[in-house]
Structure 1
């Protein structure tokens, strides 16, 4: 048997068989050898086909391909192609390169859509090296010119579309020029002039598609010609547009280049021709052009635009609607949401449309609102219904004439991969828009609960019926089932949607109560936790953490949901705390993963807000004071902030303050506060001052209220760059001066009066009072950002219950005058607190 027949047998053997692929990948060198020129064209084709199949294998298979430099071997084979090479050989090599590059990109991240599986660090690093080598200039000189080959063109476009995911890689492709053009551009130039004009040159921010002068990009030229030339087939146009979309993502200069370049008819720009493609009758072309335009719009309306008139977390009202790109944005949303809500059986197209709208609306309240106005909510619910309704009806098998037998089938067996991907995408779309505005959450719940007569039979809005089950919400049971689904993407997206819903107070206190979502979330936290089998609570090793059955992104998102479910206003909070949940959260605080550790601490902090004394005892008994002290010195400043905020939340009443002082001891407590008030992050400093304000009582005053290092830090923070820190420091000084009016010696010795007057510019000598109450904080429930696992942002712990200054009487001072603002401080509340502190100092002298 010759090599060709042997390779064909191997190819047929491994199709759809991951175990067979793993076994064959160990013999990758012999397969790669068959790509060399010494073998016949037919043998090389079969070898490439085997590599194509292996490239879609498991992580262990890919590890073997990376280990044996499969991508380099394929690149060498591409370099050996010539005019006599057969189209079948070109197609086989192009297919193998496309699949392997895309698989490597999935190992490295970030994800193109959805969530990527967990990848060992060593495999991710080796894949990163292999992909970087593929995008170095010597390698680009080999495969990019092959875009001019009609056979290889669609495969290389797909390689760009799915394999280019970082700004560095986009820049490498956009700046590449053929060797001849590079030499021509540098001819006659001095050494310091040989740097060619770059496609990544800064683009003017005044117009949405402003041109970048003198920014040649050979790759963009080729892709634009492929997408707009007359006579181009629909598959070629779609492939070109997908590659352009990948290169224009988060790349302002590349987006501007599309406007600046001359169109195919020699007038205007390519953008006009691209916009016309939205009318194409081919669904693949329509999706591809809308993805490209969405990336251009998102980049155009991105950070450079937001900060052009100053730093804004959200755009000023009316700016988006008057922006030139907004009309294009509305057209994109309308086109995509029409596809999402359609009842045609084209799940891949609807899935991609959902993800494109999500990427356009993520962290952008204005675009999310526009999406809702364009019908995003009913469209997404229709897509979810499509994946959940039993389209494959239970067959009725005729038996003996008119008698039929119902055959009950397992619903999980009926779910296809494309249906699960559509459900994941639709969940993600609803979560994305809900996270921008809780009002959208209420609209979703209302639409889900009210029966309507839809165009097609609807799970979300079933037709009226006498059956009471038809009057119940259907979305939340599906979310609960999906959280426990074996499909990773479905689990993750369902948790993201639950997280969005849990941020709406009305939903949290009503619909969540009647659902199984809290139980499903707890099961995620407690499922297959390797530390639960340990007798100690020592940190787990990297190998132990990687053995967790659950994906870290799913765990982190479940913890984010718990941050909201454990808030004091959640009706099932007490029941959850009694179900051994606290112990599981404490175990997560020992994780080596920063995001897991952070969100576990965030959940514990939320649980401690407004907690009863027995709940505080339960939380701190499981956490232990020693581990709490370790967390206040955690390497991640966000974890330290949550630990200090937890201290603030558990030092509210006199009973809890005594409990904390007895547990930590005054010396350790003093050290913790000193370290926290010396941190560089303002959130930790503010919460440490608030905690100090709570803790200083008659019994702790001598140890803490007269501690000169603490008081000196307090004085220093009167001039902190953060208004919140300055307000906390001034308020704390007011409390010290008011509670102990004749014990001001230490404060005077450190120069507190001079510091206070410096805040006012040395002029005012009066203050403004407010009644004191201990302060606490609970998290907003946003949790932490997930980096390469998802598109959703983080929130900073809010100051629920924070003391504020208002006009009125302060015991012993009567009404306090509040003259106009004079001096360096501009914040009114800080000024009021400083004036009150000076008044209290004056009174202490009497």
Structure 2
């Protein structure tokens, strides 16, 4: 039964505490009571007292109020909304800032834990989620973001960060947990990583005469990192709870933070790096400590960007670290005694280790990680009944999400691994069933699996069609009320199943995929707009003239022109790529010139894109469009008559990367070969002299690869690409031949 609070005393507060712990209904009831919560927040610093109260009552009131605030932070949006409105975090920060040596450890621990709980709840509302997908975007997000940003202001950091050195392990543990749970983005990560005590900052700003400012990089504190040193010192204490909190804090701070990760992975001669200590804790008998150590080691290992090529090299040390982490995670995932939350964390840590890293994905496959995860997700997914139990425990749903997420990540790059997923482990029925799960994270992870599998041509032509998985994803994609994040994942699958080699392409067109993609293109969600364009690009590859006209009319020619000028360079790149596919035949070029406002407008957009120096991918696609247009004899004169376009071509031949020079030289060659009278325009654009310069240096470049390599690549206009060299010689031959004919 929920009681009504009329007076605040230790007894009533203890009763409320016992009522709200683990009880969402009670949290909602008390959380909506503005008068009660307001008095509770005031009680943190100024508890109601009477002269007859026994000694210690003030402290006990503050402790119980802190416990209740910590409990109200989680489980009830109404309670969190009230705490934000009443600025409970500021009250807790003020209480923490006024700690005195005489304050009891229980009081300090209760207040710091309450601050940690509220900070974590606020960070969860803002996102991103630390473990899986956040079910919904809360309407509290703007208020929560302001409160979270405030927690990382320098003067606020000065309040709670020094408490890492508090003599009480309970206090330092709570502060480490606060860092671990609330640092979610790079801005906050940098602010905490760079923090140092005010006394050290004062020294840093002074030079020899007391007023000269030192270079920040010369600062002793900045070079060694106060936070890193302090957390590392705490890590060596034999307190498992504190060690777990410190490892989690280091994991949050090193995520995508290469400078800090390198500092932890290396050590001066004669010293052991922090990473070695972390890896030793991976072998603890405490599962929570193992997980925290594994996540910390993973974030240290993965802080540098993933190699783009599958031929890249993994150092023996990095491989050994990855294998150690995989061994620990495999054991937890396969252990019957391990709890669902522990297995869920193990799966997500494995995901963080391998995601977007081809070599680690292969290593995980070789180390039987995929076997363990596949067996796990199969064991918890009933296939006899296609409908999931609505009362399925959330812990099982989250575990299924985590396991499917790992399967998708490991299978993302390699066809052999995808074949194992489909044929050996037979995961497709699990994926297909999960597409209809009530939990948004499961549907999202299932779409990610379908995306990974649909990257294989063989699977797309057989398993994905035969099992009905492709159409199941498409039906999810067509739902207008689907969660935005699930829709984004489903749209990536659609991008794959509308390609020219997909048996489902014509079926999807018949069932309205074009209209659905147009709707997504017209949303305000940049990720969905980008995927819609990507799908249109794939749909138009090797498309018939009829399909090209149908797609472009559906998008709208005016809209295409707007997309050429979109602020997002990724949108512009895809828009030009779409037009590139439209222009891959004479009929398509005619269509462009007739619908894009004429040659002046079309060529103007292309020139603007090529002249932009903000993104080479946009330039590449625009040059490809121009090269395709040059294949149409009927429109070559328009290109030759545009001095701005010719200058763009010349600049590409001189300065651009080889991927851009290839279509640029192809365009020039086609113009020269088909237009004997083009010498004058190309001479005025100085393209003839550019070609001559490229060809003059060809012999030197071809004969001296060592010199070229040591010199850093192309030098003084030299052309080092054989394809570009050959076409430049051909173009120059035609140009000089045509010039002789004119004479």
Would the alpha carbon gap of residues 197 and 26 (structure 1) be closer, same or farther in structure 2, given more than 3 Å must change? Answer: farther
Structure 2 Cα separation of the partners of residues 823 and 569 of structure 1: 41
Equivalent pair of 2:41/2:88 in contact (CA under 8 Å): yes
Equivalent pair of 2:536/2:578 in contact (CA under 8 Å): yes
Ranked by relative contact order (alpha carbons within 8 Å, sequence separation 6 or more), the top structure is 1
My pick for the range that moved more, 53-62 or 420-429, is 53-62
Equivalent pair of 2:44/2:95 in contact (CA under 8 Å): yes
Would the alpha carbon gap of residues 259 and 522 (structure 1) be closer, same or farther in structure 2, given more than 3 Å must change? Answer: closer
My pick for the range that moved more, 234-243 or 556-565, is 234-243
1:521 pairs, out of 447, 457, 473, with 473
Residue 632 (1) aligns with residue 564 (2): yes
Residue 656 (1) aligns with residue 588 (2): yes
2:301 pairs, out of 286, 291, 297, with 297
How many pairs does the alignment contain?
699
- Residue in 2 that maps onto 1:161: 180
Structure 2 Cα separation of the partners of residues 715 and 410 of structure 1: 62
Identify the structure with the greater helix proportion.
Answer: 2
Would the alpha carbon gap of residues 149 and 25 (structure 1) be closer, same or farther in structure 2, given more than 3 Å must change? Answer: farther
Per-residue deviation, 1:233: 4.5
Structure 2 Cα separation of the partners of residues 832 and 262 of structure 1: 53
Equivalent pair of 1:223/1:240 in contact (CA under 8 Å): yes
- Residue in 2 that maps onto 1:244: 250
Per-residue deviation, 1:151: 3.2
- Residue in 2 that maps onto 1:673: 606
- Residue in 1 that maps onto 2:46: 37
- Residue in 2 that maps onto 1:378: 371
- Residue in 1 that maps onto 2:668: 733
Structure 2 Cα separation of the partners of residues 365 and 340 of structure 1: 22
* Structure 1 residues without counterparts, runs of 5 or longer: 202-214, 307-311, 395-407, 449-472, 530-548, 765-820
Residue 228 (1) aligns with residue 236 (2): yes
1:68 pairs, out of 86, 91, 104, with 86
Q: What's the secondary structure of 2:474's corresponding residue?
A: helix
Equivalent pair of 2:582/2:589 in contact (CA under 8 Å): yes
- Residue in 2 that maps onto 1:282: 286
Structure 1 Cα separation of the partners of residues 673 and 29 of structure 2: 77
Residue pairs, 1:478-517, within 5 angstroms: 478-517=430-469
Residue 16 (1) aligns with residue 9 (2): no
Would the alpha carbon gap of residues 838 and 344 (structure 1) be closer, same or farther in structure 2, given more than 3 Å must change? Answer: same
Equivalent pair of 1:730/1:834 in contact (CA under 8 Å): yes
My pick for the range that moved more, 675-684 or 826-835, is 675-684
Per-residue deviation, 1:566: 1.0
* Structure 2 residues without counterparts, runs of 5 or longer: 1-5, 49-57, 700-714
Equivalent pair of 1:556/1:595 in contact (CA under 8 Å): yes
Structure 1 Cα separation of the partners of residues 70 and 597 of structure 2: 65
Moved over 6 A (4+): 179-189, 193-196, 259-263
**TM-score normalised over the length of structure 2:** 0.84
2:618 pairs, out of 684, 706, 724, with 684
Per-residue deviation, 1:726: 1.5
Structure 1 Cα separation of the partners of residues 652 and 345 of structure 2: 51
| RMSD over equivalenced CA pairs, Å | 3.5
Structure 2 Cα separation of the partners of residues 754 and 267 of structure 1: 61
Structure 1 Cα separation of the partners of residues 161 and 296 of structure 2: 26
Would the alpha carbon gap of residues 165 and 665 (structure 1) be closer, same or farther in structure 2, given more than 3 Å must change? Answer: closer
- Residue in 2 that maps onto 1:767: none
Structure 2 Cα separation of the partners of residues 47 and 65 of structure 1: 13
Residue pairs, 1:177-188, within 5 angstroms: none
Structure 2 Cα separation of the partners of residues 596 and 602 of structure 1: 10
Deviation per residue, 1:744-781 (Å, 9 max, x gap): 443344333222112224789xxxxxxxxxxxxxxxxx
Equivalent pair of 1:75/1:143 in contact (CA under 8 Å): no
- Residue in 2 that maps onto 1:840: 734
- Residue in 2 that maps onto 1:340: 333
Would the alpha carbon gap of residues 677 and 179 (structure 1) be closer, same or farther in structure 2, given more than 3 Å must change? Answer: closer
Per-residue deviation, 1:52: 1.7
Per-residue deviation, 1:333: 1.3
2:406 pairs, out of 395, 416, 429, with 429
Structure 2 Cα separation of the partners of residues 199 and 437 of structure 1: 45
- Residue in 2 that maps onto 1:123: 143
2:635 pairs, out of 675, 682, 700, with 700
- Residue in 2 that maps onto 1:367: 360
Would the alpha carbon gap of residues 86 and 387 (structure 1) be closer, same or farther in structure 2, given more than 3 Å must change? Answer: farther
- Residue in 2 that maps onto 1:800: none
Per-residue deviation, 1:382: 1.6
Structure 1 Cα separation of the partners of residues 259 and 603 of structure 2: 53
- Residue in 1 that maps onto 2:644: 709
Structure 1 Cα separation of the partners of residues 473 and 624 of structure 2: 32
Deviation per residue, 1:1-29 (Å, 9 max, x gap): 42135555655369313753662368643
Residue pairs, 1:564-603, within 5 angstroms: 564-603=496-535
Equivalent pair of 1:135/1:169 in contact (CA under 8 Å): no
Deviation per residue, 1:521-578 (Å, 9 max, x gap): 334433236xxxxxxxxxxxxxxxxxxx623x33322222221111111110111011
Q: What's the secondary structure of 2:335's corresponding residue?
A: coil
Deviation per residue, 1:156-193 (Å, 9 max, x gap): 33222222334554454455556677789999964447
Per-residue deviation, 1:669: 2.8
